[in-house]
Structure 1
Amino acid sequence: MLILSKDDIKKVFTMKEAVAAVKEAFSIYSQGKSVVPLRVNIDVKKHEGQSLFMPGYVEDLDSIGIKIVSVFPKNIEKGKPSVPAQMLLLDGTTGEVCCIMDGTYLTQLRTGAASGAASDVLAIENAKVAALFGAGGQAICQLEAILAVRKIEKVKVYSRNARKLAEFVEKANLELKNYGALIVSAESPEEAVKDADIITVVTTAKKPVFPGNLVKKGAHINGVGSYTRDMQELDEYIVKEADKVFVDSKESVLAEAGDFIKPMEKGIIDASKIDGELGEAIFGKMKGRENDEEITLFKTVGIAVQDVVTAYKIYKKALEEGVGRVVEV
């Protein structure tokens, strides 16, 4: 069995490879070629924690996986991560666990790659300006994914936390300097959105973080952070007025994403507002962007097939390059 740390994954797998893996995952999912049961959530009341188990199976890759993500806020007091995560990958021909890898970084990588995949499929080809809302743990991978699929010249980052924003901008300019983009702080949501060709939102907000009526024609938006019914990053105006709306999983978004549930409860939109799943555009069942004036919107809540396909590709690369630690069990 192979053990892979975050550093091991970084050694063998690039963001561009992650974007390709997630495109494949979305295509597999939308063609009905995967098994993705509902995730199991175990409440650990004694320690004020939760453990979530997210399984998936991809027959074409002979691969099974389960990601275990726990949320234990009191871990901070013990000097441990409050959201530990691991990914277990199984050989689909034998059912044996063949790899355990860092699930926290895998999640950041595949979630960022989802926005990269959507931007590659839906954003205008000559996109030059990007906006990023959020400066938390997901932000750096979200930003790199955009830079990996378009030749962005300037990125405007906005966060309500001025200290985190300044630290993130400094870090991003250093870590992503090879992409050649200028990454700057935005003073306001309005400043961030102005002239942006690609807008990525990855926050924990329960109220919209930017005015949708300022989004310019031809822009593409990635809604990433909202994954519960009470979370809402995108205002109802932009959800209603977007020309094309794609999601990772229609079933999951309609069940979990406040960005869509809240305007639906108010009667502003209905389920037909969603044009389709991104995978359908990837494998050619549906058209994506059809002209440079359309405003396109992609909403993701995350699906287990992303983890399985990305983890499988990482595992294969690690084996080829002799990276990781082999243990006998």
Structure 2
Amino acid sequence: MLKMLLLNKSDIKKVFTMKDAIEADKKAYQAFSEKDAVVPIRTNLGTVREGESMLFMPGYVKSLDCAGIKIVSVFPGNAEKGKPVVPATVILMDATTGEVISVMDGTYITRVRTGAASGAAVDLLAKKDAKVGALIGTGGQAPAQLEAMLAARELEEVRVFSRNKEKREKFAEDISKELASYGAKIVATDSSDDAIKDADVIVLATTSEVPVIDGNLVKEGALISGVGSYMPNMHEIDEVSIKRASKIFCDSVEAVLEEAGCIITPLKKGIISKENDLNKELGDVVSGKIPGRESDDEIIIFKSVGIGVQDVVTAQMIYDRAIEKNIGTNWE
């Protein structure tokens, strides 16, 4: 009889670290760019209420013989109900039999693998001696984004900003305790400008429809990772940063051109071109097909909208380790 493994957040945390998640994302990006994965553009059903969406993200990795789908929703009103704003479930399948082998807490997987997307970018594209980080946005994604930065580089300070003063200060206080083992100073700032000044790594985790940074203040050699905006009307990265960037890397060029307003709008305006600026995927850096950072003066942008293969590879790694360590609940 088939046994299906049920894994909650607590189970996953017992077998899977942020550094593991970064390696999983790197493998996922490489599989995607090498055409070892089948990843359809996600389906967005939307809802009758503005600002809500229900997303279905399938993926299959040939070399791992695994497949799966993440069902993830964005319901801002959930915050008032004490529920996750971005609830999700990941269903993992055995691609040799077509059977479902595991159901996992996709809300936690989404946070950790999306944080790891920035972590992978920092690992591959940030300056080796990066010391100062900036995080714009203190929502549900923020803790994982901040931990990924610290896991990928030995940062001495991370500055945090969001529009709500009380929220950003509480976030900085709480996360300083949670991530104390990394040894970085984490402080709230009064403005986005203060946060990004002299920052080597800038992570944007917002769904803002207007830019949240001033590209004129981005220092030479900085890495900007934009992981928050995922729809054509969202523009967290400003056009000055786009224009100043030496290189722009994507998780999936196809998906970014379909979904990311930060890139779609400047492309339509002629600020960048698809041929010259939007032909680089992070997976090709992982495999060594193209170079990442080539000098400490380059401003580099990484734009991610998320691809289903991240969830599949992450889920497979979690599943394998859970089986090995006998973690989780079996359901026959």
Same fold, TM exceeding 0.5? yes
Deviation sequence 1:195-237 (CA, Å, 0-9, x none)? 1010001011111111101111111110111111110011101
SS in 2 for 1:112: helix
Q: Does 1:270 align with 2:306?
A: no
Distance 1:186 1:82, change over 3 A: closer
Unmatched segments (≥5 aa) in structure 2 = none
Instruction: Tell me if the contact between 1:48 and 1:74 (Cα under 8 Å) persists in the aligned partners.
Output: no
SS in 2 for 1:319: helix
Match of 1:150 in 2: 153
Q: Does 1:310 align with 2:317?
A: no
- State the aligned residue count: 328
Q: Does 1:66 align with 2:66?
A: no
Deviation sequence 1:241-287 (CA, Å, 0-9, x none)? 11111110001111111111111222222213224000011101101
**1:49 CA drift (Å):** 6.1
Q: Does 1:218 align with 2:230?
A: no
Q: Does 1:203 align with 2:206?
A: yes
Match of 1:22 in 2: 25
SS in 2 for 1:98: strand
**1:48 CA drift (Å):** 9.7
Q: Does 1:257 align with 2:260?
A: yes
| Equivalent runs, 1:1-329 vs 2, <5 Å | 1-45=4-48, 50-72=53-75, 80-271=83-274, 272-328=276-332
In structure 2, C-alpha distance between the alignment counterparts of 1:222 and 1:215, rounded to whole Å: 12
Deviation sequence 1:161-217 (CA, Å, 0-9, x none)? 112101110111011000000000111111111110100010111111111011111
In structure 2, C-alpha distance between the alignment counterparts of 1:225 and 1:66, rounded to whole Å: 21
SS in 1 for 2:147: helix
Q: What TM-score, normalized by structure 1, do the two folds share?
A: 0.95
**1:124 CA drift (Å):** 0.5
Deviation sequence 1:273-309 (CA, Å, 0-9, x none)? 2240000111011011011111111000000000000
What amino acid does structure 2 have at the position aligned with 1:312? Q
**1:41 CA drift (Å):** 2.9
What amino acid does structure 1 have at the position aligned with 2:33? S
Distance 1:168 1:78, change over 3 A: closer
What amino acid does structure 2 have at the position aligned with 1:40? T
Distance 1:326 1:203, change over 3 A: same
Instruction: Tell me if the contact between 1:57 and 1:63 (Cα under 8 Å) persists in the aligned partners.
Output: yes
Unmatched segments (≥5 aa) in structure 1 = none
**1:314 CA drift (Å):** 0.6
Deviation sequence 1:115-156 (CA, Å, 0-9, x none)? 000110000101110000000000000000010010000000
**What is the RMSD computed on CA atoms of the aligned residues?**
1.8
In structure 2, C-alpha distance between the alignment counterparts of 1:12 and 1:137, rounded to whole Å: 22
In structure 1, C-alpha distance between the alignment counterparts of 2:141 and 2:184, rounded to whole Å: 19
What amino acid does structure 2 have at the position aligned with 1:247? C
Identity of aligned residues (%): 56
Q: What TM-score, normalized by structure 2, do the two folds share?
A: 0.95
Instruction: Tell me if the contact between 1:158 and 1:187 (Cα under 8 Å) persists in the aligned partners.
Output: yes
Distance 1:250 1:174, change over 3 A: same
